Structure 1
Amino acid sequence: MGVPASLQQPQLVAHLIYRLDIGGLETLLVDTINRMPPGCYRHAVICLTDYTDFAQRITRPGVELFALHKPAGLGLGTHTDMFRLLRRLRPAVLHTYNLGTIEYAATAWAAGVPVRVHAEHGRDARDPQGVNPKHNLLRRLVTPFIDRYVPVSRDLRSWLERGVRIPAHKLQLIDNGVDTERFRAAGATNGEPWQDRESFVIGTVGRLQDVKDQFTLVEAFAQLCQLLPDERLRLVLVGDGPLRLQLEAQVAQNGLQDSVWFAGPRSDVAPVMRSFSLFALSSIAEGTPVTLLEAMASELPVVSTAVGGIPDLVEHGVAGTLVPAADPRAMAAAIAPYVRDRALARRHGAAGRARVEQQYSMQAMLAAYVALYDELCQTKTTRKKAITPCAE
């Protein structure tokens, strides 16, 4: 006699990520686990390399965390470790994220994991346009072991279908979501050192690395200071990374030490957002950036490069202004009207908040993932007769 469905433990989703540390994808993963309706699915997080104190943000009870400590290179032994772990955990779903984890879908198939989902949140920093033939060959070779690819922007979906040649029936777009209760309009803040009533604060949040191209943002800020010499302007870079020393040198060369803050990694991004007057993003490649969603939910006007899925998210001239990548002059010119006209900044900020509430809510994203897991588990698991879909 089988166990009644009401007494069965929820099925397990094992999330495989390269490293659990501060970042947009990592924040989204943690929010997904914490906010998914109770009783739907259990969760485990497997890190190919390791995790940091960021893992403490997982507040959902019972979430197991594993680090496989994969060495540089092929790390064939990690496949063996992964196989053994999956055989022990027996998840219903393995959910992999981005290129660094995609090959383990085959390992999961060999270990008997019924459902394999792979999410693409953005292309590799060393291949921002997604044209590396070896990488794309790998994506195609593992396609038979993946039940569904989940791109998080229309740009990524189009690239997977047309560029990588993933069959359309294996693609499912799920927009990223943001917590619109935590990220909201300006109110009380933490009294950050760059704040005062007269200043116009341009902020950005992201790892200090090539793909984010903060060099362009710093140069744009330098040009903006020349364009508007009578304005009290501030630039705040939240995050850390390998380019920090070079960016600090660029700031010093432009004599901007008193106007630019390197805030480092912050766990309190929501109140920090509320200390900004405008959010700027200078990336050369993106999917649907979580920090941009957070900024829009915080009612900040946005000036961003028109790359990846950003044009689908930010309506040019309505919620912000889009500019070409690697063009500091264009970025400075786009920011200037918001400094001159604070009412314009408020209108575009309000429009961005409305856009997020309409299409990019956390609730909509979670419902889409639950429905996807339900559909695939009902189709592929041997216990499908006992499964009660969470979406019901």
Structure 2
Amino acid sequence: MVDIPLIVHLTYALDFGGLESLLVERINRMPTNKYRHAVICLTRYTDFSKKIKKPDVALYALHKPPGQAPGTHFKLWKLLRQLRPTVLHTYNLAAIEYGVTGLLAGVPVRINGSHGREASDPDGRNRSHNRLRKWLIPFYDVCYSNSADLLRWNKSVIGVPDGKIRLLNNGIDTDRFRPARLLARPEGMEHFPADCFVVGTVGRIQEVKNQTLLIEAFAKLRELVPLCRERLRLVIVGTGPLHTFLMEKADRLGLAEIVWMPGARMDVPEILNAFSVFALSSLAEGTPGSVLEAMATGLPVVATRVGGVPDVVCDGATGLLVPSHDVDAMAAALARYCLDPELAARHGAAGRAWVEQKFAMDSMVSAYTDMYDDLCKNKLQGAYKPCAE
């Protein structure tokens, strides 16, 4: 009986988020006879983990405390020695240091993925973080990026050599996320006016997503289009540490009755189809999966010009890009779609076509599978047999 290689995915947490959603999609869709999977969370996992449908995917939580935690390295080392994976796949800066642990545990293939930068360092200028990234390059076989912007940065700033770098685009399930005529509004939106114009966003509610800017821009939008004022609504789907703060912010601006923040939802495709425009106010992004989902749904997009967003949203063709931190610019862009439904429909249709052409889910899964195949073949050379003892 031939053992099937095990991939251990090491992430900070497994909770509602773009990176996590695509991780789960890859696990669910990757051929069962090719690889097995386990997910190790440095901190915790939540009910979001139930989205993993493939059987026998083990989940582990190391409950890492804030700050430096040498004990977490030892916990991970012991677990890796027990699991004996063929591949350790770490995600972003939060997990990058554990490539060393993987080497010491004898994991033959080690991969780090850049899926976006931190809210505290959206442009990737933190010298200590970048020194760490540079120092850890030898411990990885591949340091890939999920956007052209991150790829350029990894090459020019971090110094990842050509032989270790790849571009792996995100993918979207265009069957699940597609334009659809709703027979009824999603639960919680039943009482929205029939002709309402819904500005919506989906994402983890945290500093890097900067939904505070979106709420302020929505308040400004109501001033810019007084004739549409009564039918404007704002929807922010997701959960996170700033959820209560945002609700209080909306209340202070007198928007509590027209801003809906339902937390995490499992019916995102249906909710997207109730939006009129999708808005992204982030400080930093890799390739934003939420934007791709919105475009696949046929929505025009207003987004901040950060990270890999310009590689996804074509300004003036599939959406409108605005400077980060610019409340007035975002409000003005939202007003254009509110006042010109034909422009919104044209940009939405173009976005759907673009996603179908460039960001197919099957292409993403194939690209990751090919990376694993190449590395296992080149590094193992038949000498290593991942066993399940």
Sort the TM-score into its range (normalised by shorter chain).
over 0.9
Q: Is the Cα contact below 8 Å between 1:194 and 1:201 reproduced in 2?
A: no
> Quick one: which amino acid aligns to residue 186 of structure 2?
N
In the alignment, structure 2 segments of 5+ residues that lack a partner are none
The residue aligned with 1:240 is 239
Q: Is the Cα contact below 8 Å between 2:115 and 2:146 reproduced in 1?
A: yes
1:21 aligned residue (10, 15, 37): 15
1:220 aligned residue (210, 217, 221): 217
The residue aligned with 2:186 is 190
Q: Distance in 1 between matches of 2:86 and 2:298?
A: 39
After TM superposition, the runs of 4+ consecutive aligned structure 1 residues lying more than 3 A away are 193-196, 384-387
Q: Distance in 2 between matches of 1:236 and 1:246?
A: 15
Task: Give RMSD over aligned pairs.
Answer: 1.6
Q: Distance in 2 between matches of 1:181 and 1:254?
A: 38
Q: Is the Cα contact below 8 Å between 1:377 and 1:384 reproduced in 2?
A: no
> Quick one: which amino acid aligns to residue 232 of structure 2?
L
The residue aligned with 2:253 is 254
The residue aligned with 1:4 is none
1:123 aligned residue (98, 117, 120): 117
Q: Distance in 2 between matches of 1:321 and 1:91?
A: 44
Q: Distance in 2 between matches of 1:271 and 1:14?
A: 33
Q: Distance in 2 between matches of 1:83 and 1:282?
A: 39
Q: Distance in 2 between matches of 1:67 and 1:142?
A: 24
Q: Distance in 1 between matches of 2:194 and 2:82?
A: 58
Between 1:64-73 and 1:87-96, the stretch displaced more is 64-73
Please state how far the C-alpha of 1:244 moved relative to its aligned partner.
2.6
Deviation string, structure 1 residues 47-83 (Cα, Å, up to 9, x no partner): 1111111111111011111111222222111111111
Is 1:211 the counterpart of 2:208? The answer is: yes
Q: Is the Cα contact below 8 Å between 1:216 and 1:282 reproduced in 2?
A: yes
Deviation string, structure 1 residues 243-284 (Cα, Å, up to 9, x no partner): 233322332232222221112111221111111111000111
1:130-169 superposed matches below 5 A: 130-169=124-163
The residue aligned with 1:370 is 369
**Percent sequence identity over matched residues?**
52
1:49 aligned residue (43, 57, 60): 43
Q: Is the Cα contact below 8 Å between 2:219 and 2:253 reproduced in 1?
A: yes
Q: Is the Cα contact below 8 Å between 1:83 and 1:110 reproduced in 2?
A: yes
Between 1:73-82 and 1:39-48, the stretch displaced more is 73-82
> Quick one: which amino acid aligns to residue 154 of structure 1?
A
Distance 1:288 1:328, change over 3 A: same
> Quick one: which amino acid aligns to residue 321 of structure 1?
L
Deviation string, structure 1 residues 63-109 (Cα, Å, up to 9, x no partner): 11111122222211111111111111111111000111111111111
Between 1:239-248 and 1:364-373, the stretch displaced more is 239-248
In the alignment, structure 1 segments of 5+ residues that lack a partner are 1-6, 388-392
Deviation string, structure 1 residues 311-367 (Cα, Å, up to 9, x no partner): 011111110100101111111111112111212111111111111111111111111
What SS does structure 2 have at the residue aligned with 1:230? helix
> Quick one: which amino acid aligns to residue 125 of structure 1?
A
What SS does structure 2 have at the residue aligned with 1:345? helix
The residue aligned with 1:39 is 33
1:284-295 superposed matches below 5 A: 284-295=283-294
> Quick one: which amino acid aligns to residue 127 of structure 2?
P
The residue aligned with 1:90 is 84
The residue aligned with 1:326 is 325
The residue aligned with 1:70 is 64
What SS does structure 1 have at the residue aligned with 2:226? coil
Q: Is the Cα contact below 8 Å between 1:10 and 1:39 reproduced in 2?
A: yes
Q: Distance in 1 between matches of 2:371 and 2:191?
A: 44
